[in-house]
């Protein structure tokens, strides 16, 4: 496995690979890798010949009161995990390599950002879309792999790829979970022991929503209240949101129909956790 820190070096490697007729799979991450990231690499290995992983904590997607400085970083650990997963190249740039000067242009996301995480994180998805567009242009992958744990992010990226006719296929991968159902996340390390035990109730609340729908409940308000009630009863966290939306359009609806996302966010003392399920009826 090769570690590169400059755009020029990475572009040369990828060009050489493509000249050999090989496909390039891209797994963008912010590091502090866990099994969820590795599952994306494993999926990429099925479809592509050469795997590039980026590790870059993107300052543009953090608000002024968010955890950019506290975001966990451990490159030696990440390097070992990436090598074991048979990543071919890890792109590990510093901020000045990606943003050598103040940007004159950024991506502004207009659709699907006034709900879920976008509602309380003004500008977050602008930052996500801007860095992903830059990374796509740098790596020029055949396919890019994203986990559905952040299904809103996946929808935003899919829309951007379509809007700008980007020559990359977005591969949506299922959320990897702990044995008790908690979605794997770098932020789980911030949970206290008691909060970690409570956090499994997030996925349980979503499972109960699915059960209600399968039993014939179609009123979104009723389902949302059931999920909120479960979270407020079973956890000490503060419910940031519970939303039921069409997917991938991310539009509000009153009744369950077609393809839907049920998404939640819960704030614990030191971590804000998100999860979702996508269902088709």
Annotated binding-site ranges for (R)-pantoate = 61, 153
- Residue 265's nearest CA partner among 246, 247, 245, 238 is 238
- Residue 274's nearest CA partner among 160, 141, 174, 183 is 183
Q: Tell me how far apart the alpha carbons of residues 134 and 177 are, in angstroms, rounded to a whole number.
A: 30
User: b/e map of 181-209 (b: 16 or more CB within 10 Å)?
Assistant: bbbbbbbbebbeeebbebbbbbbbbbebb
Q: Which residues are annotated as a binding site for ATP?
A: 30-37, 147-150, 176, 184-187
- Residue 134's nearest CA partner among 172, 93, 173, 162 is 93
Q: Which residues are annotated as a binding site for beta-alanine?
A: 61
User: b/e map of 21-42 (b: 16 or more CB within 10 Å)?
Assistant: eebbbbbbbbbbbbebbbbbbb
- Contacts from 204-209 at CB under 8 Å and sequence distance 24+? 204/230, 204/234, 205/230, 205/231, 205/234, 205/264, 206/262, 206/264, 206/275, 206/276, 206/277, 207/181, 207/277, 209/262, 209/277
Q: Which residues are annotated as a binding site?
A: 30-37, 61, 147-150, 153, 176, 184-187
Catalytic residue among 37, 47, 226, 230: 37
- Residue 70 contacts residue 175 (beta carbons within 8 Å): no
- Residue 99: CB partners within 8 Å, gap ≥ 6? 59, 60
Residue 37 appears among annotated catalytic residues: yes
| Residue given tokens 């020559």 in the structure block | 167
Q: Which residues are known to be catalytic?
A: 37
């Amino acid at each position: 496995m090769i570690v590169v820190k400059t755009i020029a070096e990475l572009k040369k490697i990828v060009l050489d690979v493509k000249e050999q007729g090989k496909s390039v799979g891209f797994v963008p991450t912010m590091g502090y890798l866990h099994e969820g990231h590795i599952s994306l690499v494993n999926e990429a290995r099925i479809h592509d010949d050469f795997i590039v992983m980026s590790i870059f904590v993107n300052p543009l997607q953090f608000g002024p009161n968010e955890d950019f400085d506290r975001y966990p970083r451990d490159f030696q650990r990440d390097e070992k995990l990436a090598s074991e997963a048979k990543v071919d190249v890890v792109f590990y740039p510093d901020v000045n390599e990606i943003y050598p000067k103040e940007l004159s242009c950024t991506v502004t996301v207009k659709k699907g950002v006034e709900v879920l995480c976008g509602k309380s994180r003004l500008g977050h998805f602008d930052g996500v879309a801007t860095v992903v567009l830059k990374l796509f242009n740098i790596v020029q992958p055949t396919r890019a792999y994203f986990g559905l744990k952040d299904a809103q992010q996946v929808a935003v990226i899919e829309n951007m790829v379509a809007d700008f006719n980007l020559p990359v296929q977005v591969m949506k991968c299922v959320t990897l979970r702990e044995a008790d159902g908690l979605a794997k996340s770098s932020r789980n390390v911030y949970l206290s022991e008691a909060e970690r035990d409570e956090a499994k109730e997030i996925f349980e609340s979503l499972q109960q929503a699915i059960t209600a729908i399968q039993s014939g409940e179609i009123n979104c308000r009723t389902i949302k209240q059931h999920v909120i009630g479960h979270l407020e009863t079973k956890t000490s966290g503060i419910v940031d949101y519970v939303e039921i939306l069409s997917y991938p359009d991310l539009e509000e609806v009153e009744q369950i129909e077609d393809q839907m996302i049920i998404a939640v966010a819960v704030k614990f003392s030191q971590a804000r956790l998100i999860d979702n399920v996508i269902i088709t009826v």
